[in-house]
Structure formats: C-alpha cells, structure tokens
Structure 1
Amino acid sequence: MKTALDLVAAAKARIQEIPVDAAEAAIAQADVLIDVREPDEYRQGHLPGAINLPRGVLEFQMSSQSAMEPRGLRIVLYCKTSGRAALAACALQDMGYLDVRSVAGGFDAWKAAGKAVAVPVAPVFG
C-alpha cells in the first residue's frame, strides 16, 4: 500500500518544481498563481497575487471557470511545503494543462527566504 509521502514522491518525479530563488521570475511570467492550501491557511498569509483554490476542489474550480479553460495557461502552484502542490500539478497535467509548475518548499520556504507575504486585513467596524 502507498502512503501519502509515496504519492507525493511520485508526483514530484512527474512535475516541474521551481526553487524559491527562481519563483519570483516564474510568478511574474505566470498567467495565474494558485495557492492550493485551505482557506484558513490562505487568510493567515499568502504570496502576493495568489488566488485560493484549495486542493480538494481544484479540478472542479478549474473546470467551472471560463478564465481557466485555456490549456496553455502558465500556472504556478504552491501549498505549505510543496506536497499538495505537487499532487495538484499532476492533476492539472492530467487535465491537459501544458505549463504547470510548483514552488519547491512551498509557502514555508518562501517565507523563510524573506520574500513578501500578503496578509488580508480584517475590516474594523466602529
């Protein structure tokens, strides 16, 4: 029986991971930056410009949004440490997307490298 780590290792063998030091350039050239973490993780901080499409609904969201239909979209994905993003990248490749990359080390590596993090500000009612 395979473990989650086995599945992630197999996924990483099939996808293109970009190191954190090259991620900003890849993101600048991407059509879409997708955070596949859960909404509560996203609200705690995310890469600037990222949209949140959690791993559990990614395929459904990609299929239901006309802006996401072109299979030539340049897509960069990330999660907390890169496991979910690797699985998501495989799923998108299986759906026919041609240019899908994942940030190696994910959000944790991005933050550890001192790169910019966006944190939504809660409204103040007064």
Structure 2
Amino acid sequence: MKTAHDLVALAKSQIKEVSVADAAQAIQDSDVLLDVREADEYASGHIPGAVHISRGLLEFKISNAPELASRDLKIVLYCKTSGRAALAAKALNDMGYLNVESIAGGFDAWVAAGNPIAKPQALEFE
C-alpha cells in the first residue's frame, strides 16, 4: 500500500521542479502562478501575484476557468513545502498541461530565501 509520501515521491519523479533560487525568474516567465495551499494559508501570506486554488479543488476549478484552458500556458505552482504542489503538477500534466513547474521547497523555502510575500490588507474601521 502506498503512503502519501510515496505518492509525492512518485509525482516528483515525473514533474519539473524549479529551485527556489530560480523561482523568481520562472514566475516572471509564467502565465500564471498558482498557490495550491488552503485558503487560510494563502490569506496569511503568499507569493505576490499568486492566484489561489486549493489542491483539493484544482482539477475542478481549472476545468471551469476559460482563461486557464490552453494547455500551452506556463504554470508555476507551490504549496507550503512542495508535496501538494508536486501532486498538483502531476495532475495538471495528466490533464494535458505541457509547461508546469513546481517550486522546490514551496512557500517555506521562498520565505527562508528572503523573497517578498504579499498579505491581504486588513480592513480598518474608524
């Protein structure tokens, strides 16, 4: 019986990962940056310009988004440490997307490298 770790390892052997050192350039060159973490994780801070689609809804949401229909789009995705992103990249590859990259080490590696993060502005009431 396979474990989640086994599935992630298998996915990582079949996808393209970009190092955190090369991630900023990959993001700049991409058509879309997807954050596949949960909504609360995204809200607590994310890579600037990232679009949020939780891993659990990815296949459904991307299938219903006409702007994401082209299989030639260059997609970069990430999660917290890269496991969910690897599974998401594998799923997108299986759906026929040709240019999918996952950020190795995920958001945690991005932050540890001193890269910028975006946080939603809190509402202020006077």
TM range (shorter): over 0.9
Give the percent of matched residue pairs that are identical in Structure 1 and Structure 2: 61
Q: Which runs of 4+ in 1 moved over 4 A?
A: none
SS in 2 for 1:17: strand
Question: What amino acid maps onto 2:27 in structure 1?
Answer: I
Q: CA shift at 1:27, angstroms? A: 0.2
Q: CA RMSD in A?
A: 0.4
Aligned positions of 1:85-104 closer than 5 A: 85-104=85-104
Q: Counterpart in 2 of 1:109?
A: 109
State TM-score, norm by structure 1: 0.99
CA–CA separation in structure 1 for the residues paired with 2:65 and 2:82: 24
Question: What amino acid maps onto 2:69 in structure 1?
Answer: E
CA–CA separation in structure 2 for the residues paired with 1:78 and 1:111: 12
Aligned positions of 1:41-60 closer than 5 A: 41-60=41-60
Q: Counterpart in 1 of 2:15?
A: 15
CA–CA separation in structure 1 for the residues paired with 2:125 and 2:32: 33
Q: CA shift at 1:125, angstroms? A: 1.9
Unaligned runs of 5+ in 2: none
Q: CA shift at 1:100, angstroms? A: 0.2
CA–CA separation in structure 2 for the residues paired with 1:85 and 1:112: 18
Q: Give the aligned length.
A: 126
SS in 2 for 1:14: coil
Q: Counterpart in 1 of 2:61?
A: 61
SS in 1 for 2:123: coil
Aligned positions of 1:76-87 closer than 5 A: 76-87=76-87
Q: CA shift at 1:122, angstroms? A: 1.4
State TM-score, norm by structure 2: 0.99
